[in-house]
Structure 1
């Protein structure tokens, strides 16, 4: 706990300048430096002679003690001390943008910032954040037309994703003492609807592997995702130096783009052979890969494979999870491979497995209506 002490320093002409000494020092938000001394722009006389000087000293000392006590209360209550005005007048939109910039390639973060700017404008100060504003933004996401699609609203699950990013930034703002209320935990997220997770059956994935794609890079990335469960944003940033180990014991060391968490991921020799030839240590494995290319070439690739279903690149990750579970891999292992924080996130795939099990149970049929079937 920081302690605030009132001190003085000689400034000439028989006077002393009053300042507050804070220990341990607090960090300046503007410069990042640790600050210990805060001058009050007040002074007292060393040896007051006249009644005026004595009265001046008495009033000034009383004021300085009052300021010291208030600053101590501010710090004790974690009420941000001297920097509160600076932080409250800082731009939340800029803060939001910086958080998004830490996740390059994440469309969800990028769009979350874009929609918030559309809602409040290019500048929005921290001091204007409150629960009413947050609820209004939630309603905006649920009713606003999707960008580029004036006749269609943002899908509810997509709105939930954008709002969860917003809540995440609010929580960080509270931890960093930009706001005094924990708005990120005070407001509820948008409840998502259960959705169908598109995936490929094993034979369909084999057809994809055997079919032509006008972009070999998109094909390689898609198959790699289906074999590892990695997201597009993680594949996009993967470097050759992230792959380590020896034959039979290769693994990837990387940081998840979505969570920022460091991950250890084992890969088979067959999966690694998909990436050959090997490149330089700092070079990206999928150099030049863009999501616009995925949007352009994936439909054609699916058509060439004879697959008629709505399927996006993220479906390769769903395919990995589904095939692992149907092959008997334990759900906790699959959860770890997918990088999920909670196994409950992985449990959504169990419903798919249950559906497949039901379909399989209906494949063996007997004609029990014949006269001799039960004799």
Structure 2
């Protein structure tokens, strides 16, 4: 990152002083180059044509003050780059800094909630007087031990492996931020191994089971359409639920006269923009196009009643699995891999940020391959 002191002439005739933070560039989904910049306006102004001694004096004072702020900001940048600790910054309380990092995530509801849940355990472990200067390896190991042996849920049960993994990761993210922003001279969190993720069962439907479900009436037709749409596209419940007609693109025919349909939407979980091609059959589940601002699955809402109807629908179809709406997404991933899609394509379609998340589905396919090896009955052989 680079910092520059800039000047901008205003309509009033005065010149505004501000800092420009150049953060490199990125590429937009359309392939265009985008410059990444942040600005810090200093509320300092210059007379463009100073005439009186007072105006000239004011210009000199404001320029000197702007230069001083510029020097401080550059020093803060180098502190983070070369592991130079600012002792004054390190005097901030650890709990205060964690609260600040948590609030930066308030727009991302799921992530914010995890930070908030982790904070309750961090506050139980960490004394109020602990500052970032006092953070060391033993402090980090102590919190890990606390999660593993002392922390409990509201119902007084030990934390699950995945919950310990999640809470320690928020603790870790806070310390990483403290190091990157120059509050810590050493990134101690790298010296302590976190919790591994526990593998959970990902319930999904086979192709035959999905066909049975599609052929079985459901008491809530809207739920049926939404679930089958998710199974054919892999879109999460949160994105199916909020989907508007403005996000559905009917793009005509390709060179082989095959209809082209796409969903362009912002994932609620990750905030990433997705450009997802969908099949003609998936498009049929959306029905007739309505006003752009209308929800596609208008009237669909998450409730205990809806979950119960989903289970009853499965039971009527002869499916004795604990199927949730998210199982439709698992089903999509498994069926794509079973039918020849490569793991990278599946990962992109599901909107995963990391390939290892998708690799879990590949393990399911491997298991089925092993099971298939013993499906053929044993032969009665007479070998001479």
1:56 paired residue number:
none
Instruction: Work out whether residues 74 and 80 of structure 1, in 8 Å CA contact, stay in contact via their aligned partners in 2.
Output: no
Would the aligned equivalents of 2:218 and 2:313 in 1 still touch at CA under 8 Å?
Answer: yes
- Judged with a 3 Å threshold, the aligned counterparts in structure 2 of structure 1 residues 292 and 138 are, in CA distance, closer, same or farther, namely farther
2: distance between equivalents of 1:92 and 1:205?
Answer: 45
* Deviation, structure 1 residue 156: 0.7
1:35 paired with 2:47, answer no
Residue 262 of structure 2 is aligned to residue 260 of structure 1 = no
- The answer to whether residue 108 in structure 2 is matched with residue 103 in structure 1 is yes
Residue 201 (structure 1) aligned to one of 173, 198, 206: 206
Distance 2:196 2:153 in 1: 21
Partner of 1:269: 280
**How far 1:133 moved relative to its partner?**
4.9
The answer to whether the aligner puts 1:92 opposite 2:98 as a matched pair is: yes
**1:308 Cα shift?**
1.8
**Matched ranges for 1:275-294 at <5 A:** 275-287=286-298, 288-290=300-302, 292=304
SS of corresponding position for 2:212: helix
Give 5+ residue unaligned stretches, structure 2. 6-16, 22-38, 45-69, 253-258
Matched, 1:319 2:331: yes
Query: Cα distance 1:88–1:120, how it changes in 2: closer, same or farther (>3 A)?
Result: closer
Q: Which of 235, 238, 263 is the aligned partner of 1:233? A: 238
What is aligned with 1:130? 135
Worse-superposed segment, 303-312 or 170-179? 170-179
Asked if structure 2 preserves the Cα contact closer than 8 Å seen for 1:218 and 1:289, the reply is no
Alignment size in residue pairs: 317
- Quickly say closer, same or farther: Cα 1:85–1:345, change in 2 above 3 A: closer
Where does structure 1 lack aligned partners over 5 or more consecutive residues?
5-21, 27-31, 38-67
**TM superposition shift of 1:212:** 4.3
Select between 316-325 and 166-175 the one with higher mean Cα deviation: 166-175
User: Structure 2 CA distance, aligned partners of 1:297 and 1:205?
Assistant: 16
SS at match of 2:274: strand
Shift of 1:342: 3.8
Answer with 358-367 or 226-235: which moved more: 358-367
- Partner SS for 1:265: strand
Alpha-carbon RMSD: 4.3
Equivalent pair of 1:241/1:281 in contact (CA under 8 Å): yes
- Give the Cα separation in 2 of the matches to 1:239 and 1:333: 25
Structure 1 segment 333-348 matched on structure 2, within 5 A: 333-348=345-360
8 Å contact kept, 1:168–1:184 = no
> How much has 1:280 moved relative to structure 2?
2.8
Distance change (3 Å), C-alpha of 1:33 and 1:206: same
Q: What per-residue deviation string (whole Å, max 9, x for no partner) do you get for residues 247-280 of structure 1?
A: 5211122233343332221101210111224343
Following TM superposition, by how much is the alpha carbon of 1:332 offset from its aligned partner in structure 2, in angstroms? 2.3
How far did 1:323 drift? 0.9
Of residues 218-227 and 133-142 in structure 1, the stretch that sits farther from structure 2 once superposed is: 133-142
Distance 1:163 1:199 in 2: 29
Matches within 5 A, 1:324-363: 324-363=336-375
Q: Distance in 1 between matches of 2:325 and 2:192?
A: 32
